[in-house]
Amino acid sequence: MSFERHNIQRMQGYASGEQPEDAQTIKLNTNENPYPPTPAVQGVMQDFDPVALRRYPPPTADAFRDVAAALHGVARNNIIATRGGDELLRLIITTFVDPGRLIAMTAPTYSLYPVLAQIQDCPILQIPLQPNWALAADFCDQVNNAGAALTLIVNPHAPTGHLLDAATIASMAAQLNSVLLIDEAYVDFVDPSIRHDCLDLVNQFDNLLFLRTLSKGYSLAGLRFGYGIGAASLITPMLEKTRDSYNLDLLSQKIATAALQDQEHARLTWQQVRAERQRLSEALADIGLTSSPSHANFLLVQVPAAIGISAAALYQGLKQRHILVRHFDQPRLDDKLRITIGTSDENAQLLKNLKELLPAA
């Protein structure tokens, strides 16, 4: 006899990317930052007094929220700190979406979204992206007509790297009747010269939330720290009602605050990732593996049929050589590999092994 709710019984859990424990594997499969976090993290850990753990941590991580608010030019009550971006997604769904209500998203999208919808027993509406990965022209009409309570958009998009500009986000927030979550997990890797910045929209729309994480841009995936930015009317119910009491331990709050304060270090890693992204996409194109323009820290690389080996076989071949990339066995992605940008050494190893695996022309 099973005690699981029916929707839980029916669903599959989230399939995390492989996390090998050996040091020799080149890990280009889960979009981690290849460079170390700011040395300030080490400083926080060295200075940390374990006796401080005797007490509960600050419940709403206000020191962190103040640093995030100053960084983004918003107020403290526009920020909620969460255990990774993933906790924010769960909070948004439990706070704003009744079980049975529709959740809208694109296809493809971040594969955790459908899983979280199923946990809440919500049907999903997946609207296919256009061939160039842009949103369907009638995306908002479709979402409104279907009566969705929440729309989840990754920007820059995963797994394609496609970027929607601020004007598009503003027009979506204006048109949609639902809450709109713009998941900016990868926004730090957008080239600053294009001046992409959507955060002033927070003060214009009461249905708009942004997700940020320290996992990618701040090299702290192991810490599990993210945050949400939005109108106080959206942030407050999550902060005061649906958040777990003491959702963030004291040490992570201190580390995350120090990391966010060292913008100079983080920006240097973003710049290095962008330079490597450019180099890698050109070198891959030289061997017949093209990718669409990416504003994130990964490339979605097409493996053309004419090249004589499938994306799945290339993934396996690389894995045998201790290089992990991501292959999604789903429509429109099964002929592609999603490759995280590594250090220049890692990228060179990847290229060398790909060249060996590709059949001679």
Ligand X SMILES: Cc1ncc(COP(=O)(O)O)c(C=O)c1O
Applying CB under 6 A, the residues found at the interface with ligand X are 31, 84-86, 110, 154, 158, 183, 185, 213, 215, 221, 226
Report the nearest approach of ligand X to the CB of residue 28 (Å).
14
Beta bridge partners of 210: 182, 229
Report the nearest approach of ligand X to the CB of residue 116 (Å).
11
Report the nearest approach of ligand X to the CB of residue 185 (Å).
4
- Nearest residue relative to ligand X (C-beta): 84
- 326, 195, 81, 67 alpha-carbon torsion, rounded to 10°: 130
Q: How far is it, in rounded angstroms, from Cα 227 to Cα 256?
A: 10
Report the nearest approach of ligand X to the CB of residue 84 (Å).
3
Closest of 91, 87, 135 to residue 109, by C-alpha: 135
Nearer to ligand X, 81 or 143 (CB): 81
Residue 272 phi, psi (nearest 5): -65, -40
Residue 147 phi, psi (nearest 5): 80, 35
- Is residue 59 reached through a cis peptide bond, with omega within 30 degrees of 0 on the bond before it? no
Check the CA dihedral 102-103-108-113 and report its sign: negative
Nearer to ligand X, 159 or 353 (CB): 159
Nearer to ligand X, 110 or 205 (CB): 110
Nearer to ligand X, 34 or 84 (CB): 84
Report the nearest approach of ligand X to the CB of residue 256 (Å).
11
- Greatest alpha-carbon pair distance for the chain in Å reads 65
Nearer to ligand X, 155 or 347 (CB): 155
